Structure 1
Amino acid sequence: MSPRGAVRRVVSLVPSLTEAVAACAPELLVGATDWCSHPAGLDVTRVGGTKNPDTDRITALAPDLVIANEEENRPQDLGVLRAAGLDVLVTEIRTLDQALRELARVLVRGCGLPRPDWLDDAEAAWRELPAGPAELTAVVPVWRRPWMVLGRDTFAGDLLARLGVRNLYAGHTDRYPRIPIQELNTRGADLVVLPDEPYRFTAQDGPEAFPGLPAALVSGRHLTWYGPSLVAAPDVLAAVVAGAR
């Protein structure tokens, strides 16, 4: 992909990427999803959800670039936008290394921006990880009703592995297996990791389903978002996991 010239109007269909662009050049953003919550007070046209964007509204905004993700957004919606003549950049992010590369691709090659300092800071933060406990094994639910857990090949699973937390279901054939709670295997698990998104697990909603296991209630933004939050993520996540022991 060659660098895009004169990108002045960007629509983001991914909360993480919205925050990444806003941290560098907020004036470029003209549209974002209803779920794009960072930065606070972001004043752009809202274009629906990640899974059900209003493609007519996006087209009417006449963006120079639409940024998306192969996991967050549906191919059929992106196809409609392309058919309308819009330039759509689709990221694939399943590991930290991939996230760092794709962020550079979106910001530098896609939007024509200088490489941001926070991206270098994120690389350094994950290169110089805080000392943690010996390796732990965890079950990591991401949804309830029905129960879903992290399986193989996920960005969040890669972050946890780098912090010494092995995902009990990392070898599952599915990336996000649906497993009824009565069938969920916790044998060999040292703790359960409960993020506050996409499902909002809390101290009152989640830990009670795993009696006898310590619960680490973690920030979903630090576990699942790829953007400026990656700078603080290793310290934030490591502290919560250590506190749950």
Structure 2
Amino acid sequence: MTRGPVRRVVSLVPSLTEAVAAGAPELLVGATDWCSHPAGLEVTRIGGTKNPDTARIAALAPDLVLANEEENRPQDLGALRAAGLTVQVTEIRTLDQALRELERVLVRGCGLPRPGWLDAAEAAWRDLPAAPSGPAAVVPIWRRPWMVLGRDTFAGDLLARLGVRNLYADHADRYPRIPLSELNARAADLVVLPDEPYRFTAEDGPEAFPQLPAALVSGRHLTWYGPSLAAAPGVLAAALAAAR
């Protein structure tokens, strides 16, 4: 953990950038090119989540670098530590884990008061079931090649709490590559198509699943862990209902 007050933060994770900026934008001195929320955030851009400019980050002299074990590469985090920087790495595979990690980052890491939106997020998801009981779905996250949500993913946990039964939730891989022919052969009731990381649209995605209703959902509400979590249940539930 950091020593002394944290006054300069570099975030390598869009979700965490938004989480810090929601309460203390003045702390942020650097963020990735993919950190799009809040709009108009004025910080030094340090490259992508997978290819950050570690020298530029070090030159910013942050008190704390925020990272994620899935979104960021170990070799980049190792280079930052070798430069003498404190790196806080999150691991987020479930909603409960996300809520705990957000408090750890914001309160214990950055020294901020617990934000009201975190309480709102907990309340918004509190009464939803933790086990799926609704339509069986395939959930692509990429095409060329086709990849879907598999086991042990944050987005999969959110969908399960909204009643969606992911047909690949027991796959050995977290993001398996599955041929389109196999996806269409599964006994799915629904295909869920987020607009990130691949930007599925009405013209690019549903046409690949001609026999299935397609739910086009907000990737930010499905895959980001931050202020968007408070509105996510309603936004996602509306998109799923519209497809049935």
Q: State the TM-score bracket (shorter-chain normalisation).
A: over 0.9
Is the contact between residue 4 and residue 110 of structure 1 (CA under 8 Å) also seen in structure 2? no
Instruction: State the partner residue of 1:5.
Output: 4
Aligned equivalents of 1:185 and 1:163: distance in 2? Answer: 23
Matched residue type, 1:156: A
Q: Is the 8 A contact 1:4 1:109 kept in 2?
A: no
- 1:152-163 alignment to 2 at 5 Å? 152-163=151-162
Matches within 5 A, 1:1-245: 4-129=3-128, 135-184=134-183, 186-245=185-244
SS of structure 2 residue aligned to 1:138:
strand
Aligned amino acid, residue 153 of structure 1 = D
The one-letter amino acid paired with 1:205 is: D
Tell me the CA shift for residue 184 of structure 1. 2.4
What amino acid sits opposite 1:34 in the alignment? D
Displacement, 1:4?
Answer: 4.9
Instruction: Indicate the SS of the match to 1:203.
Output: coil
Deviation of the 1:129 alpha carbon? 4.0
Deviation at 1:226, TM superposition (A): 0.1
**1:164-184 CA distances to partner (integer Å, 9 max, x unpaired)?**
001010010000001121232
Shift of 1:186: 4.4
Superposed CA RMSD in Å reads 1.4
1:5 and 1:112 in contact (8 A); partners too = no
Native 8 Å contact 2:184 2:209 kept in 1: no
Structure 1 runs (4+) deviating above 3 angstroms are none
Paired residues in the alignment total 242
1:108-161 deviation per Cα after TM superposition (whole angstroms, max 9, x unaligned): 00000000010000000001349xx96111100000111100000000000000
After TM superposition, the score normalised by the length of structure 1 is 0.96
For 2:216, the aligned partner's letter is: L
Question: How high is the TM-score relative to the length of structure 2?
Answer: 0.96
Unpaired runs of 5+ residues, structure 2, are: none
